[in-house]
Each structure stands twice: as structure tokens, then as C-alpha cells.
Structure 1
Amino acid sequence: MHKYLEHFMQHVISLYNGTPVRRLLPDPAEAVLPGVAWGRFDEALTPAFWAAQAWMQELAGGEAFGLGNTLAEEVAACLLGGHGAPAEVGLAAYGRVRQAMRGTAGVNGGAIESMLTTPLKVGDRLVRYRFAKQRSRQLGECLARIADFDEAALDDISLRDALTLLPGIGPKTASWIVRNRRASDEVAILDVHIVRACIHMGIFGAGATPARDYAKLESRFIAFCRAAGTRASLLDALMWRTMRSIGPSLAGLRPASNPSSIGDARWGREHVRGRWIEQGRSKS
């Protein structure tokens, strides 16, 4: 005689073109990766939460990637918005440089430095770009060297690896460029926000350091995305926005609860991303 165990599914309900649609997620106690439980989708920052949010984002039209129209523009955007530059400041710097790049005179390191040393308008403030000298030199060299790239001949990983050979571009910035150019799901942009989310879930260990272990952590993140049935490119962007809005401290959020303590008939409602979602339990 075979003994069958009862499994319960989580129901996520959203609206698509005015019609309710449903996604089923596994029982909170089941593992999405070895040692990592799905958790409840209506509990913030669990694997099930991210899977539900990514699914609803896809229903809403997905994500728009890309800050430039060419590889050169994307390199400029991501290099200027890289480590240490707040997103708004990086975009302001890129906007100024991009305008010059689209002109007829061309740009070089000296011209870029002149543009970056002039205060930038960010909202109602004038701010200085902190890395004007260093990044203008790096960007000038990058623009000269990528003129020889045969972008179409390179797959996503090969393009990322080639970009890491350019000055000022490490694996995170190179992955950002590739993701933006190709909406690639083969790379991950492991900045502090993504790392924080993955540590909270238990996908990464508490001491995860992309600077030391980028390839290993990227592989782990992509494995999670595949197991959760989400696109890495979309989830990366979604996590970045969400974790950035939360801020550097998760002190106000309790860790994921022990899924095995959740009662079989428990129901909950949350208003997430402007849609009502409902958690119920049904046997499958």
C-alpha cells in the first residue's frame, strides 16, 4: 500500500485585463532550493513573496531595460551610475555626457571630465559628481576600446566577460550593461540591495561578498530564479527597487517565519502592488 502525503498550494490571485488570474505556489514548508523554504507569499521578502511579485510584474507588462540606444551609451550610463554614485546623480551625469556623445564633435576623457566637474541638476539641487576625474578617464578609454567590439558575435556571458576587461568595469557593472542591452537572464547585477534580499531569504550566507565570490553567488541567484519560475532580469530589477525603498536596515522586518508552524486552514490578505491577493490552501 502506498502512503500519499497531502500537499497544499498557495493561491496568488491578480487581475489581468480585468479578469482574475491565479498562480499556484508550493506549500510554504517546501524547499525552493535545498535548505531554503518557499515561505508565505504574503510575508514580505520570502521566496514566495518574490515569486508572486515577479509574476504580477510580468502581468503588468514586465520591465523596460536599457538606458541608451547603443553599447557605448549603455557603458556610459552604467559606469557613471556605478559604485558610490546615487542612482539620481548617475543618471544626471549620464544625461549630460550622452547629449555630447550624440553630437558631432565626439567626446574624450578631457571633455567628459569638464562635463562632470560642472555641478549637476538633481531635482531642485545642484550636486557635484564625486568621481569626475577617475571616471572621465575610464569612460574615455572605454569608449575608444568598445569601438572595436563585435557585439553581435558575443553571447551574453562572453560579452559580460569582455566588458570586465575595460577600465572601471567589474562583473556587476558589466552584468548591468548586458542585462540592459539584452534583457539577459544569464547574468545578475549583484549590488548591495540584491545581496541583502538574498541573505534575508537564506539564498546567500550571512557573509556573502560579491567582490570575492561573484560567480558563485550569481550562479546561486540564477538557480533560485529558475527554481521559482521567474526571470532573473525582472527579479533583479524588482528586488533592487523594493530593497532600495526599504533602506539599509531590515530591523523592522522579522525573519521569515518557520513555515511548518503555519496552520492548514490559515488565510491572509495583503494589498501588494495595488492588487488584492489572497492566500488559501487547497490540496493537490
Structure 2
Amino acid sequence: MIAIFEAAALEAGSAILKVYHQGPEIRLKGDNSPVTEADERAEAIILKHLRAFLPNIPVIAEEQVAAGLVPQITADTFILVDPLDGTREFIARHDDFTVNIALIEKGQPVVGYVYAPALGMAYAGKPGRAEKQLVGADFSIIERLTVETRTPQDEICALVSRSHNSVETQAYIAANAIHAQKAIGSSLKFCLLAEGLADIYPRFSRTMEWDTAAGDAVLRAAGGKTLDPSGNPLTYGKRNRKNEVDFANSDFIAWAKAPSGG
């Protein structure tokens, strides 16, 4: 399955870069979030791959959901797709936007693929293995490197969202005496934790499941955890809740190495 995700993401990334270099036309969706032709092209490519090779697994894809096209999930297994995570980064000409594809089983992300086309690198996670991939100019994998999380250093480094930082996030960082932080866009924050380049990613602002699932799968495969406010693993497939939209995440804290008991 990871090979299917890889092929889909690499082709989608190629299409995204063409729009990136041309300059995207920007529109607003119903929730006032931006969308570009790159989001739509990439999603169409990914869905094409998934329908060809995994036709029996329901797919929840961000732009389809925005258009009101939400398949019924009648089993414990489905796929989450964010064709262009970090659209604001993409529009602002920052390179840390990603393509995200994840397999969810019984509420947990078990296989994930994150591709950062402008950076020429990708991350893949499946049970027992997480890897960083270096991607060539021809969109083929030229090197695969096993990654794993690190034990927190004397000075803990926190990752925060460049475009969606919040007062609550900064308050958490201050309350826990975390002095080093770095702002990164998209799901790459999970991947940097998985690679052992940072220690914690606290998120106290809105995310959707397709924003986090692929990176979360990579992080868990590398030995990390993503915990909800109750200290339980963040779950996926959340629907039909009172006063909350479907597939919205709670606040969470992602750890390279979670504290004991977490």
C-alpha cells in the first residue's frame, strides 16, 4: 500500500510544482480557507491512483468534502487525503507545503505518506518502519533513510505552525519552560519530530483529520505519539458529534518521545 501512496503523491507533487512555478490563482472556499488549481489537480491525481488500486476502500479527500462529496464510512478502514497541506505556505512562496495520504484502521493512522515537492523529500510510515526519502528532479526516489525519534534533549525544541499559531499554544510553551521553538508549515512538523530534529509539537488551533493523519502515521511509525487533551492517542473518523464539524481534530500534543504514562 505504501507504494501506491508513494506513486500517487509523487505524481501529484509534480502537478503542484507546475502551478507553483506559474503562480496560482486563488479562490476562497465556503469556510474562507484558500484553494488553488494545484489543490484540485493534485487531488484528482491521487483519487485516480486510489480508485485504480484500492477501489474498495472509502476515501475522504479535503476538496471533495468541501464540495459536499463525502462517502459513507461503513467499515473501520478508510483513507484520508490532503492534496496540498499548507496552501497558505504555497501561496506565500514558502516551500514547506506537502501532499498527505494516510490509511486509517480502527481510528488510528497506520500507513502514511508525506511529500514536500518543493523540498525534494518525502516521509513514509508503516508499522515497524519510518523513512525519509530524497526525491530527484525526475520525481523518483534516489535514497531511502530510516528515521526514528530522539529522546528529548536538555533544551526541548518545540515546533509551531507558521500560519496558525495561537495564544493558547504560546501559553503552553511558556508554562512548560520551553525556550526553543521553530515555525514550520504543514504536516512537516510531524516528520521533523519523526526524524529526531525536534521534541514536541503542541497544537491548540483548528486542524482537520486530513491535515494530520499522514504525518501522524509517520511519527508513530518512528516511535512518537500524538495525544489528545485527555492523554489518549488522537483518533480519526470522528463524525456526527454535537456542535462540531465532521473530521475536525481536538487540540493535541505530538511528541517525539511521549512522557511516561502518556
Decide: shared fold, TM above 0.5: no
Counting helix residues as a fraction of each chain, which structure ranks higher? 1
TM-score by length of 1: 0.24
Greater Rg by CA: 1
